[in-house]
Amino acid sequence: MKRSMAILLLSAIILTSYTAAPKTTSAASSSAQKVVSGHINSGVNLRDKPSTSGNIISSLKKDSDVVVLERSNDYFYKVQTSQGQIGYVSSAEKYISVSGSGTAPGGSGSGVGQAWTGLVIYGVNFRDQPSTSGKIVTLLKKGTSLTILEKTNSAFYKVKTENGKVGYVSSSDKYMTVSGGTQVPTPNPTPSESVNKQVELVIKAGMKYLGTPYEYGSDRNTTLTFDCSDFVRQAFKDALNLVLPADSRGQGTWVKNNSKAVYSTKDLKRGDLMFFMSYKGSSASAYAGVNKATERITHVGIYLGDGQILQTYSTKSGGVRTDKLDGAWVHRFLYGGSVVK
């Protein structure tokens, strides 16, 4: 009887220890995880989606801190504020600096932290550019081992040799076998590259509507005709799935609330929206003494750079077109600003 009781007691102790062990292990694993923190460098919007079309939840102030949960895409981090709010902020260095693990965790298998190696199986040229037009630095022989830094484009890897030289080789499996994971990391575009890419998409979307007839108060649900704000809205919707306000005054307010307004045409950048007051004449004297701060926005267009504007403003003018930014357009200009950032 005593022996049976002792066995039962021992079994209970073992069972208790076994069931408690996973909790201890889990706690240890949790405490070992690195926290990726973000410091807000400049006021930035916290959105409900990783896109500039996401609704603004709140505005994060300069010098506030957040926890970075993941890098959701090339342009946005998913973050948690000190108040517990979870949302998305621009990943541009202008707005946030990240620390804690060197990079934010990727949301879709970025390959961060993995060592990628390549073994040359057939002699391949080592070039100074990721293109067949790049200068050949040397020929890498069969059996050469390389560290793969990234897949720069569809045809080339950026690699480092054992003696530390960095260059580019063909990514064709005819020349090299790759080990270290299932996906070689691709380079993240810099903030300026990301913005430039978005701007070009918007302009390309707008240019496809050249010649589309003008109609004041056009139907926002069709692309058969446009007025000025309908055209601008459609270009951003087509290119970025970003839906701006339906009228030019609303778009002007949107730019002021979400970007930085500029009041000189010299400060405009390609892709910026431009807002204008009513036409009062073609000469500068017609606008003398006008207080632009109190003038209402009556027209909007997209700045193309090099003194050109993409816009639509009357039936007689022929609909969507490009114009030189001169004469009355300069005199009527109120302010402009970026939509993408």
CATH code, domain carrying 242: 3.90.1720.10
Number of domains in the chain: 3
Is residue 303, in this structure, part of any structural domain at all?
yes
Q: Where are the beta strands (DSSP E) in the chain?
A: 37-40, 44-47, 56-60, 65-71, 76-81, 86-90, 96-99, 117-120, 124-127, 136-140, 145-151, 156-160, 166-170, 176-179, 273-276, 299-305, 308-311, 321-324, 333-337
Is residue 26, in this structure, part of any structural domain at all?
no
What is the pLDDT, as a whole number, of residue 106?
Answer: 47
Q: Do 328 and 218 belong together in one domain?
A: yes
Q: Do 302 and 209 belong together in one domain?
A: yes
Token pair for 53: 């079309």
Q: Do 199 and 333 belong together in one domain?
A: yes
What is the pLDDT, as a whole number, of residue 72?
Answer: 78
What is the pLDDT, as a whole number, of residue 14?
Answer: 42
Residues belonging to the chain:
341
Token pair for 8: 């039962």
* CA 168 to each of CA 65, 115, 174, 178, 181: distance values in angstroms, whole numbers, following the listed order: 39, 17, 15, 14, 20
What is the pLDDT, as a whole number, of residue 257?
Answer: 87
Q: Do 77 and 52 belong together in one domain?
A: yes
Amino acid, single-letter form, for residue 222? T
Q: Do 246 and 130 belong together in one domain?
A: no
Q: Read off φ and ψ for residue 319, nearest 5 degrees.
A: 85, -150
Amino acid, single-letter form, for residue 287? Y
What is the pLDDT, as a whole number, of residue 96?
Answer: 87
203-242 CB burial, b ≥16 within 10 A, e <16 = bebbeebeebebeeebebeebebbbbbbbbbbbbbbbbeb
Domain final residue pick, 133, 157, 179: 179
Host domain of residue 139: 117-179
Point out the residues of the chain with pLDDT beneath 50. 2, 6-10, 12-34, 101-114, 182
What is the pLDDT, as a whole number, of residue 190?
Answer: 52
At 36-78, the pLDDT tens digits run 778 888 888 898 888 776 788 888 988 898 888 887 776 788 8
What is the pLDDT, as a whole number, of residue 115?
Answer: 57
Is residue 21, in this structure, part of any structural domain at all?
no
Q: Do 232 and 293 belong together in one domain?
A: yes
Is residue 110, in this structure, part of any structural domain at all?
no
What is the pLDDT, as a whole number, of residue 186?
Answer: 60
Domain final residue pick, 47, 71, 99: 99
Q: Give one word for 84, left, alpha or beta, with left for phi > 0 and alpha for psi -120 to 50.
A: left
Q: Do 327 and 206 belong together in one domain?
A: yes
Is residue 23, in this structure, part of any structural domain at all?
no
3-state secondary structure of 33: coil
Q: Do 281 and 200 belong together in one domain?
A: yes
CATH at 160: 2.30.30.40
What is the pLDDT, as a whole number, of residue 3?
Answer: 52
What is the pLDDT, as a whole number, of residue 280?
Answer: 95
Q: Do 57 and 127 belong together in one domain?
A: no
Token pair for 320: 């969507």
Domain final residue pick, 179, 210, 232: 179
Is residue 125, in this structure, part of any structural domain at all?
yes
At 279-300, the pLDDT tens digits run 999 999 999 999 999 999 999 9
Is residue 227, in this structure, part of any structural domain at all?
yes
